[in-house]
Amino acid sequence: MAVKVFLSEDEIPRQWYNLAADLPSPMQPPLGPDGKPISPDMLAPVFPMNLIEQEVSTERWIDIPEGVLELLYRWRPSPLHRAVHLEKALDTPARIYYKNESVSPPGSHKPNTAVAQAWYNKQFGIKRITTETGAGQWGSALAFACSLLGLECKVYMVRISFEQKPFRKLMMQTWGANCVASPSTETQAGRDILAKFPDTPGSLGIAISEAVEAAVTDQSGETRYSLGSVLNHVLLHQTIIGLEAKKQLKKAGVKKVDTVIGCCGGGSNFAGLSFPFVADKIAGEQIDIIPVEPTSCPTMTRAPFVYDHGDTAKMTPLLPMHSLGHDFIPPPIHAGGLRYHGMAPLISQAIVEGLLAPRAIHQLECYAAAVQFAQTEGIIIAPETSHAVAAVVQEAKKAKEEGKEKVILFNMSGHGLMDLTGYDAYFQGKLQDYSLPDVEMEKSLKSIDGLPKPQLVKTGKW
Ligand SMILES: Cc1ncc(COP(=O)(O)O)c(C=O)c1O
């Protein structure tokens, strides 16, 4: 039995899939500070127009330019693995498949959009890109992409991760990027936060404020900002994962996938794998599609669907999404890439529609699953990815109880070789489970009081 399925370079998908074309209820627009829908022009100081066009597109299929494919060939198509050793250890009748996104040079799915975004920025004449990073995976992906294309790259890295993951910073430096801890003293947003909370561990919301400010205040007009998740065009670029997976499953003789699983921070790797399967579900197939988050940052499972800013300093437009409030500072768990107050609008709307079944899992269960995965399949996964694997273990055990030969597909979004301090803390018994208390959530949700409310459009079919 084949445990890996490959595609040749000429079998790579040549178009990205845009779920916005098929969602039963249309996406609600981002709003400006006056509560009115923002026009593409208003985003022009932040993003290049070619990416803004993708952001607002409702075309189902969008061609991947040849120049982007050439960049992707460095590591794509990524392999599809059958996790036979994990299946055996779990003694499950389920067949478990995973896309191995750790094969990219920076080690995660993030370069799929990093190279596309850097390419579009370069086409538009941009010379310098700013961004934020949580765990450092996104920062290193963008640093890598910018180095391939000869662009300057500036990364604001959430302070707690900057301290926990020094090697990520060195990777960014090796690819020629400049990385600083956020909040920094380089921006007004950073200085304001430091004045109020000098010991803050930082958050993605704060780091986004800094990176956006650095882009829009650059007088040369040659700097733009880039986001590694959440936005429609980012999720779009990631759909190459699910489109490849479909071709590979066909090669492996799989006729039907029962369960699709991914971890969810801002939503990009989960969307990348699952959206082509969400399309099948909309078309009538029965598939369980499960985005997984930490119980300490329960955006999808407990936070309301609201309009909120994507960042702490309220520099971004208001997005219709599940949000814990833009002031939310998540507890410093090791899955830094899952510590975000909001969720991608496309995923949020799909949750409202009932197309997705979100799940929150405690970190001790996630680390236990990560260790089991390492000791069976061999790969040491990122702490973020461990949330997907923990859900896979739950589903495989359920299949055993029910005696069902299910096909489970998940996204192995990245390796954890730069995240071993988290494993160390786990082995030393220093990690604890943490559920966000209701009072904390109510407190952070105060920041959205008075903001416009999205309509809860729900067709009620799922
Ligand atoms: C390996 C890995 N997986 C998952 C995530 C979560 O991000 P997203 O939800 O955008 O896929 C991150 C974010 O840093 C990551 O590094």
Average pLDDT over residues 279-297: 97
Are β-strands 178-182 and 259-263 bridged in parallel, bridged antiparallel, or unpaired? Answer: unpaired
For the CA of 107, the closest atom of ligand 1 is: 1
**Per-residue pLDDT tens for 378-420?**
999 999 999 999 999 999 999 999 999 999 999 999 999 999 9
Average pLDDT over residues 72-78: 98
Nearest Cα neighbor of 315 from 30, 53, 110, 125 is: 30
- Percent of all residues in the chain with a pLDDT value above 70, rounded to a whole number: 100
pLDDT at 134: 87
Query: From ligand 1's centre to the CA of 450, what distance in Å?
Result: 31
Q: What DSSP string runs through 77-146?
A: SPPEEE-HHHHHHHT-S-EEEEEEGGGSTTSBSTHHHHHHHHHHHHHTT--EEEEEESSSHHHHHHHHHH
The residue whose two tokens read 């800094």 is 210
**Per-residue pLDDT tens for 110-140?**
999 999 999 999 999 999 999 999 889 999 9
Question: How many Cβ atoms from other residues are within 10 Å of residue 440's Cβ?
Answer: 14
pLDDT at 336: 75
Q: Is the pLDDT of residue 460 over 90?
A: no
In this structure, the residue with its CA closest to atom 12 of ligand 1 is 337
pLDDT at 324: 97
pLDDT at 414: 98
> Which residues are bridge partners to 111 per DSSP?
none
State the amino acid at position 253 in one-letter form. G
Q: Is the CB of 104 under 6 A from ligand 1?
A: no
pLDDT at 411: 98
Give dist(CA 137, CA 336) in Å, integer: 9
Tell me whether the omega of the peptide bond preceding residue 77 falls within 30 degrees of 0, making it cis.
Answer: yes
Query: From ligand 1's centre to the CA of 134, what distance in Å?
Result: 9
Cβ 356 vs Cβ 347: under 8 Å = yes
Cβ 236 vs Cβ 54: under 8 Å = yes
Q: Which domains does the chain have, with CATH numbers?
A: 21-59+109-229 (3.40.50.1100), 66-106+233-446 (3.40.50.1100)
Q: Is the pLDDT of residue 335 over 90?
A: no
Give dist(CA 427, CA 339) in Å, integer: 22
| 219 CB-contact burial (10 Å; exposed 0-12 / middle 13-18 / buried 19+) | exposed
Question: How many Cβ atoms from other residues are within 10 Å of residue 330's Cβ?
Answer: 26
Q: Is the CB of 263 under 6 A from ligand 1?
A: yes
Our mutation pick for probing the ligand 1 site, out of 109, 172, 333, 346, counting the most ligand atoms within 8 A of Cβ, is 109
Question: What is the distance, to the nearest Å, from the Cα of residue 265 to the centroid of all Cα atoms in its chain?
Answer: 5
**Per-residue pLDDT tens for 170-206?**
999 999 999 999 999 999 999 999 999 999 999 888 9
Give dist(CA 36, CA 30) in Å, integer: 8
Q: Is the pLDDT of residue 333 over 80?
A: no
Pair of tokens at residue 188: 């007004």
Question: How many Cβ atoms from other residues are within 10 Å of residue 217's Cβ?
Answer: 11
For the CA of 271, the closest atom of ligand 1 is: 11
Q: Is the CB of 267 under 6 A from ligand 1?
A: yes
For the CA of 137, the closest atom of ligand 1 is: 16
State the helix-helix crossing angle for 345-352 and 268-282, rounded to 10 degrees.
40
Query: From ligand 1's centre to the CA of 74, what distance in Å?
Result: 20
State the helix-helix crossing angle for 363-376 and 385-402, rounded to 10 degrees.
80
Q: Is the CB of 202 under 6 A from ligand 1?
A: no
pLDDT at 135: 83
Q: Is the CB of 102 under 6 A from ligand 1?
A: no
The pTM for the full model equals 0.97
- 3-state SS class at 307: strand
Q: Is the pLDDT of residue 330 over 90?
A: no
Query: From ligand 1's centre to the CA of 138, what distance in Å?
Result: 8
Q: Is the pLDDT of residue 332 over 80?
A: no
Our mutation pick for probing the ligand 1 site, out of 78, 230, 236, 338, counting the most ligand atoms within 8 A of Cβ, is 338
Query: From ligand 1's centre to the CA of 433, what distance in Å?
Result: 20
Average pLDDT over residues 438-453: 94
Q: Is the CB of 136 under 6 A from ligand 1?
A: no
Question: What is the distance, to the nearest Å, from the Cα of residue 395 to the centroid of all Cα atoms in its chain?
Answer: 22
Average pLDDT over residues 360-371: 98
In this structure, the residue with its CA closest to atom 14 of ligand 1 is 337
pLDDT at 202: 92
pLDDT at 405: 96
Query: From ligand 1's centre to the CA of 337, what distance in Å?
Result: 5
- Percent of all residues in the chain with a pLDDT value above 90, rounded to a whole number: 91
Q: Is the CB of 411 under 6 A from ligand 1?
A: no
Cβ 359 vs Cβ 299: under 8 Å = no
In which band, very low, low, confident or very high, does the pLDDT at 97 lie, cut at 50, 70 and 90? Answer: very high
Low-confidence winner among 4-8, 30-34, 61-65 (lowest mean pLDDT) = 30-34
Query: From ligand 1's centre to the CA of 269, what distance in Å?
Result: 6
Tell me whether the omega of the peptide bond preceding residue 111 falls within 30 degrees of 0, making it cis.
Answer: no
Q: Is the pLDDT of residue 80 over 90?
A: yes
pLDDT at 237: 98
Give dist(CA 208, CA 15) in Å, integer: 29
> To the nearest whole number, what is the mean pLDDT of the chain?
96
In this structure, the residue with its CA closest to atom 1 of ligand 1 is 414
Our mutation pick for probing the ligand 1 site, out of 112, 168, 229, 387, counting the most ligand atoms within 8 A of Cβ, is 229
Average pLDDT over residues 217-241: 97
